Amino acid sequence: MLIIIKILGLIVGFIVDKVFVVSEELGMTVRKKDFGEWYLEVVKKAGLLDQRYPVKGFPVYMPWAVFMIKRITSMLEQGLEQSGHEPAAFPVVIPESSLRKEREHVKSFEKEVFWITHAGQNKLDERLFLRPTSETAIYPMYSLWIRTYQDLPLKLYQSCQVYRYETKMTKPLIRGREFFWIESHTVQRTNEDAKKQIEEDMKITEDVIEKKLGIPFILCERPPWDKFPGAEGTYAYDTIMPDGKTAQVATTHNLGTRFSKPFDIKFVDENEKKQYAYQTCFGPGVSRILSAVISVHGDDKGLVLPPELAPVQVVIIPISVKGHEKDVIKKSNELCAELSKCLRVKLDNRNYRPGFKFNEWELKGVPVRLEIGPDDVAKKQVTLVRRDTGKRIVVSDGEAKKEIDEIMKDIFDNMKARAKKFFDENLREAKNYKELKEKLKQGGLVKISFCYEEDCAQKLKDDTGAEIRGPVFKSNEKPGEKCAICGKPAKKVVYAARAY
């Protein structure tokens, strides 16, 4: 018996060793085993961010990341402009007096902004702060611009970086002191118009995050204690990361007249009566959306990028054999020129082993690898390799373009389906507190009946670290009789989760 156990132990040890050797060769932590470590590694090794910049919480965004940030931004801008928003650029500095106008807003942001107290050697008469979000920069100007109902709706957006003095541990692209986002700020005549705007924001978000980037999400109305400071209602988009924690990637807020009153944004209506305007603001977090793309789609080899987002869609790798270099290079150059007419193509003719190049471009998530060797030259063909499945396909030269288009479409469909499957598998349900605690350990979003009291949400947070993310937007689902946490009468069906 003992011998059998020993032999079994040796076999298991051998297998474990093998697994580690493989992952060591690829140089990546296994994603399922330690998502946190995998994430930090991929951000570094794929050349996304360099965290060595000497100011804490301020990384350098490298070309591979910036290209994608610009592309996500442009997808969102397109949606905003198609729905009547116009771009603007407000200053990054805001005077302290503007921050002090809205009571809840100041309470929340006062402690998490960067202050400017001096200019040159002079102390400023009034302190300035770097925008953490731009309500207090934009609304004093709106008050000057808006006169009558004819000026409404006013819909402006800006794509910019914002600054928050985060005291929690920073995490690249997920929580930083400087991050990329878009903020749109609209002024409307009625509360009904404001609500319509919120739904328009939702459509823009869905088009980009789900349809173009393949990130599944749930849209929840945040409970009153977790709203944007000063807002009447906050609607937030959460996706589920591979470690089971949720990440909020965008929010849209109904501000009602809570900002128009202190900022004096009034208009004369059709009956010559002065009225306070209704407002909304919408903030898709571009850095966070990119972090979701990295996390949700990535695998043990590194990034897996949606073809529409990838900085390079096809990488051409010439595989030379002595005596055939010229033919291989010639064909590679020709194909690169031809495919570059409609795709983002990179010819990698660096003097490295092909295997090294394969690993590097797989790590960077390039959707299709095109290999050209002497055999391919002779047979007038190319070899295509898919990043998502690793499958190799040999096609004739003339068919390459058409085949790449089809493969990219198929890759994206496959990525979307995989992501959706994981998301759906991580939607759970719990009937009582014991069950809720168990299910939260498994990760994802757990549906419960809830009393909708802040104290009860706080108890959950203290006990488990999880938060109430809120009821699903416009859901009419009837709760059970009792709150799953405290046992008092339940008012709503909500989702709970541990969140980034």
Residue 493 lies near Zn ion (rule: CB under 5 A): no
Please give the single-letter amino acid code of residue 314.
Answer: V
- Based on CB atoms, which residue is closest to Zn ion, 220 or 451? 451
- Based on CB atoms, which residue is closest to Zn ion, 202 or 220? 220
Per DSSP, the residues of 87-115 read E----SEEEHHHHTTSHHHHHHHGGGS-E
C-alpha radius of gyration, the chain, whole number: 26
CB of 451 to Zn ion, least distance (A): 3
Task: Choose one: 17-25, 241-249, 289-297, 455-463; the region binding Zn ion (CB under 5 A).
Answer: 455-463
Residue 468 lies near Zn ion (rule: CB under 5 A): no
3-state helix, strand, coil in the chain (%, to 5): 40, 25, 35
Task: Choose one: 127-135, 153-161, 306-314, 451-459; the region binding Zn ion (CB under 5 A).
Answer: 451-459
- Based on CB atoms, which residue is closest to Zn ion, 400 or 451? 451
| DSSP 8-state symbol, 460 | H
Task: Choose one: 8-16, 24-32, 342-350, 481-489; the region binding Zn ion (CB under 5 A).
Answer: 481-489
Q: At what angle do helices 191-205 and 63-82 cross, to 10 degrees?
A: 140
Task: By CB under 5 A, name the one of 363, 451, 493, 497 that touches Zn ion.
Answer: 451
Task: Choose one: 114-122, 275-283, 448-456, 473-481; the region binding Zn ion (CB under 5 A).
Answer: 448-456
| Size of the chain, expressed as the number of residues it contains | 500
- The footprint of Zn ion on residues 296-335 (CB under 5 A) is none
Residue 430 lies near Zn ion (rule: CB under 5 A): no
Task: Choose one: 222-230, 421-429, 468-476, 479-487; the region binding Zn ion (CB under 5 A).
Answer: 479-487
Q: How far apart are CA 436 and CA 485, in angstroms?
A: 8
Alpha-helical regions (H) of 189-256: 191-205
Residue 486 lies near Zn ion (rule: CB under 5 A): yes
Task: By CB under 5 A, name the one of 255, 407, 483, 493 that touches Zn ion.
Answer: 483
Q: How far apart are CA 153 and CA 278, in angstroms?
A: 10
CB of 459 to Zn ion, least distance (A): 8
Residue 456 lies near Zn ion (rule: CB under 5 A): yes
CB of 438 to Zn ion, least distance (A): 18
Task: By CB under 5 A, name the one of 255, 366, 440, 485 that touches Zn ion.
Answer: 485
Name the burial class of residue 178, with classes exposed (0-12), middle (13-18) and buried (19+) by CB atoms within 10 angstroms of its CB: middle
- Based on CB atoms, which residue is closest to Zn ion, 145 or 225? 225
Task: Choose one: 123-131, 134-142, 308-316, 443-451; the region binding Zn ion (CB under 5 A).
Answer: 443-451
CB of 499 to Zn ion, least distance (A): 19
| DSSP 8-state symbol, 170 | P
What contacts 24+ positions apart, CB below 8 Å, involve 194-198?
194/254, 194/255, 194/256, 194/278, 194/279, 194/280, 195/254, 197/153, 197/155, 197/280, 198/233, 198/235, 198/252, 198/254, 198/280, 198/282
Please give the single-letter amino acid code of residue 311.
Answer: P
- Based on CB atoms, which residue is closest to Zn ion, 65 or 460? 460
CB of 483 to Zn ion, least distance (A): 3
- Based on CB atoms, which residue is closest to Zn ion, 125 or 462? 462
- Based on CB atoms, which residue is closest to Zn ion, 368 or 440? 440
CB of 312 to Zn ion, least distance (A): 51
Q: Which helix (H) or strand (E) holds 173?
A: none
What are the residues whose beta carbons fall under 8 Å from the beta carbon of 147, sequence distance 6 or more?
A: 267, 268
- Based on CB atoms, which residue is closest to Zn ion, 281 or 485? 485
- Based on CB atoms, which residue is closest to Zn ion, 79 or 479? 479
- The footprint of Zn ion on residues 134-163 (CB under 5 A) is none
Specify the pairing of strand 427-429 against strand 445-450.
Answer: parallel
| DSSP 8-state symbol, 247 | E
Q: How many chain residues interact with Zn ion (CB under 5 A)? A: 5
Is residue 209 within 8 A of residue 309, CB to CB? The reply is no
Task: Choose one: 35-43, 88-96, 449-457, 470-478; the region binding Zn ion (CB under 5 A).
Answer: 449-457
Burial 15-29 (b: 16+ CB within 10 A, else e): eeeeeeeebeeeebb
What residue ranges bind Zn ion (CB under 5 A)? Answer: 451, 456, 483, 485-486
